[in-house]
Chain A
Amino acid sequence: MSDIVTARRLTAVALAMGLIGLPLLTNDYSQYVVNTILIYSLVTVGFNILLGYVGQLAFSNATFFGAGAYAMAIGMSRYGLPFPAAILLSAVVGGLVGGLVGLPALRVRRYALAIVTLAIGELLRWGYIHTPWLTAGSSGLEVPDISILGFAVVEEKHKYFLFLALTAVTFWILRNIMRSRLGRGFVATRDNELATAALGLSPSHYKVAAFALSGAVVGLAGGMFAVLLGRVEPASFDLSQLLLGFSMVVVGGLGSLLGSVLGAVLLTALPELLRNIPGLEEIAFSVLLIGCLLFLPQGLAGLVRRLLPSLHEKLFWE
């Protein structure tokens, strides 16, 4: 047992050192790709809370992502908020939108929920286009350069350390939550809603909590996305954004933190690697998706767990 703990600590230290040393190996472009991976790790894990942990067929990742990105852009460019306040705003706005989107989930389920959440996302996107006084409409809103404690964070490598810290802290918190009573309630609601209610736990409570938490995490990612691109426009939050997040969750593994990272890494890096060969990007993406659905119902996380059972994510803290 202590051998496993030691091995785990060593792996964690090696991983941390690798992540901190990574910018030594990257150029501006590859660093940008890595930064995108960090953002999509958060998008995927946030979306996974709804899809994988609580089993809600809610297509809201693009909605929360957009809300967080616009909160960042509007907060900084219109109201002159400093970055720390603006990133907090991204998470809070994402969480509030999440909570609101969660209310219909108490009445409708499955396919109806999928349609309702899609419609809410499109409505919000329509809002971004048609309120130019706030969002600058379809041309998009500029995000000013950011600085933290007087230190300008403009280069990709600087953004990397900022994003890495935000991503790591968020994953740590989510790991803690998923092995607490709240996380158990999420999975219990997914596995059997009526049996969960019969234990004195309210499935509605867990659903709304999951929507708010998902919104906050994906909203935070949206704020980072705004900083990464330096501009926020409505087209970034359309159906293709939604499908990308959905694919990352399914390929990575439903209901798995590790899977969320794996899905984001693979589906961000692969298209970039294949970019120079026309057509191959789309083909590889489709083949991967079909292959995962057919052969890896638990996604990449399921494959990893089969090889390394100690990576199984428990629902209690010991």
Chain B
Amino acid sequence: MLLEIDDICVAFAGLKAVSNVSFNAEAGRICALIGPNGAGKTTLFNAITGFVRPTSGTVRLDGRRISGLSIHEIARSGVRRTFQNGGAYGGMSVLENIMVGLGRGGQSDGLFAAALALPQAFHAEAARLRQARALLEAMGLGDLTNRRVGDLPSGQQRLVEIARAMAGAPRLLMLDEPAVGLSPDDRVQLSRLLRRMAAEGVGIVLVEHVIDLVMAISDKVVVLNYGEKLAEGPPDVVRNDPAVLEAYLGRK
């Protein structure tokens, strides 16, 4: 199992935002976290990625405990996340964003080799540039390579951010409301992209409000309400679950 969430609780000043939630996410599958406002989706998301510390419970990635690690340590174990907004580096070009995303991966060149512009540093950098450009082409962002990210519409910024996350070759990709602010066209592009990445074996977990998108692309939906897990299952089952309908639409 790629991601195992076991009995996670998160409390802020004694107030429980997430209580005893457990679920799993598999490699190559898309798992959506949904629920009404204030259900604890984002808190749970942040607990998995290390942005808040769970009060109790464990998160495991490939059987290795990652809860309690710092943000960059969790990322290094193979997790990448995107943000609701402003996650991409606005002052950098699209290519530079991807170059940062390649991070510590790829061929290593020492700091001294880079500082003294030795040939080995040049070759390592050239390899990274090839990799970054190939990734942008594969994600349909090749035309934007040299554009400043801050000048792009928010939908494209989101795609750049996802590309930057993919540059780190994650096993688990966590997306925080990826469809917010996207045009219908952008949403179609996003859905295709996520399905393709899942087909390549990446496990995807997303928090999303756009229910149509969730139902269309998810393999599994986890519904939260008041910090607790209300339902879990394939989209068409969850869609007809009486408890879910009640939480979303109110009691008849």
Contact = CB atoms under 8 A, between A and B. Distances in A.
A316 B164 CA distance: 15
Given A177-B115, A192-B86, A202-B72, A184 B104 contact: no
B144 interface: no
A29 to B, nearest CB: 36
A54 interface: no
Given A191-B90, A198-B49, A317-B122, A182 B100 contact: no
Interface string B125-167: 1101100000000000000000000000000000000001100
Contacts of B114: 176-177, 180-182
B80 interface: yes
A318 B96 CA distance: 12
Given A180-B114, A316-B125, A316-B129, A188 B72 contact: no
A196 interface: yes
A201 interface: yes
B49 A185 contact: no
A182 B103 contact: no
B95 interface: yes
A253 to B, nearest CB: 13
A183 B117 CA distance: 14
Interface string B104-131: 1000010100111100011001101100
A195 interface: yes
A199 B88 CA distance: 11
Interface string A176-211: 110011101101100110111111111100000000
B89 A192 contact: yes
Main secondary structure of the interface of A (DSSP, over half): helix
B168 interface: yes
Contacts of A187: 89, 91-92
Nearest to B51: A194
Given A177-B114, A181-B114, A317-B125, A195 B99 contact: no
Contacts of B71: 194, 197-198
A87 to B, nearest CB: 18
A315 interface: yes
A26 B81 CA distance: 58
A176 B117 contact: yes
Given A176-B114, A184-B100, A317-B125, A200 B75 contact: yes
A302 to B, nearest CB: 12
B76 interface: yes
Contacts of A181: 104, 109, 114
Interface in B31-89: 49, 51, 70-72, 75-76, 80-81, 83, 86-89
Contacts of B235: none
Contacts of B109: 180-181
Given A187-B92, A192-B87, A316-B129, A199 B101 contact: yes
Contact of A316 (B80, B95, B165, B168): B95
B76 A196 contact: no
A180 B86 CA distance: 24
A184 B104 CA distance: 12
Contacts of A198: 49, 71-72, 75, 80-81, 83
Contact of A195 (B83, B116, B121): B83
Contacts of B75: 197-201
Given A180-B114, A180-B125, 16 more contacts: A173-B116, A176-B117, A180-B115, A184-B96, A184-B99, A195-B88, A195-B89, A198-B80, A198-B83, A199-B100, A314-B93, A314-B96, A316-B125, A317-B117, A317-B121, A318-B125
